[in-house]
Amino acid sequence: MDVFVRKAKKHDLQAVLELYKQLHPEDLPSPPERELKRIWTRMISSPAVHCYVAEQEGKIVATGTLAVLPNLTRGGRPYGLIENVVTDKDFHRRGIGKKLLRYILQEAERLNCYKVMVLTDVYRHGTVEFYKTAGFKTGLKNGLVWLPHSVK
Ligand SMILES: CC(C)(COP(=O)(O)OP(=O)(O)OC[C@H]1O[C@@H](n2cnc3c(N)ncnc32)[C@H](O)[C@@H]1OP(=O)(O)O)[C@@H](O)C(=O)NCCC(=O)NCCS
């Protein structure tokens, strides 16, 4: 069955939120619906944030976000940050995440990013392999994370 990747639109919010529940079943409490809609509008209209969805027969089966951050070093080329990549659990291991990631990386290239970074939670089985399959490398840099007290 055909899967295609596209930029997320306003009406995709609910489907994306459903996928995020799979990504973080124990997430922080969600803001009220009005606030979620406001955030989503900002996300999909921001020049720095690029939200993508993979669609199969009218169903959103995966999503991922690329943030493209302006930068004065590296010849003024921006850098990219990938977040919130998730494929619906009923559609795992069908190449959908790979297709989505390939699309996102092509977009990063088109937007002139000189590098793209991603962090994966250490407890998530298979995610490092997933990103390696798409060409990401481990061992080039150390990834460090600071969390505010409200998230610890
Ligand atoms: C990680 C995730 C996005 C992969 O999505 P997917 O659509 O199932 O991935 P694909 O089918 O495109 O996999 C492509 C390749 O990545 C690797 N891969 C994917 N999942 C894997 C797993 N669980 N274990 C080992 N390798 C894996 C394989 O090499 C796979 O190719 P293959 O199936 O031909 O062997 C999906 O498992 C998911 O949503 N997990 C929960 C959320 C999550 O962890 N997101 C990442 C946050 S950083």
C-beta of residue 40 within 8 angstroms of C-beta of residue 30: no
Tell me: the pLDDT tens digits for 11-68?
999 999 999 999 999 988 999 999 999 999 999 999 999 999 999 999 999 999 999 9
What does pTM read for this prediction? 0.96
Which residue bears the tokens 């699309």? Answer: 103
Task: Pick the atom of ligand 1 nearest to 88's CA.
Answer: 39
Q: What is the pLDDT of residue 122?
A: 87
Is the minimum distance from the CB of 97 to ligand 1 under 6 angstroms? Answer: yes
Q: Tell me whether residue 19 is exposed, middle or buried, using C-beta atoms within 10 angstroms of its C-beta: 0 to 12, 13 to 18, 19 or more.
A: buried
CA of 149 to the centre of ligand 1 (A): 31
Tell me: the pLDDT tens digits for 120-133?
998 888 999 999 99
Q: Which mutation among 82, 88, 89, 93 tests ligand 1's pocket best, with the greatest number of atoms within 8 A of CB?
A: 93
Q: Which mutation among 92, 96, 103, 122 tests ligand 1's pocket best, with the greatest number of atoms within 8 A of CB?
A: 92
Q: What is the mean pLDDT of residues 65-81?
A: 98
Q: Which domains does the chain have, with CATH numbers?
A: 3-133 (3.40.630.30)
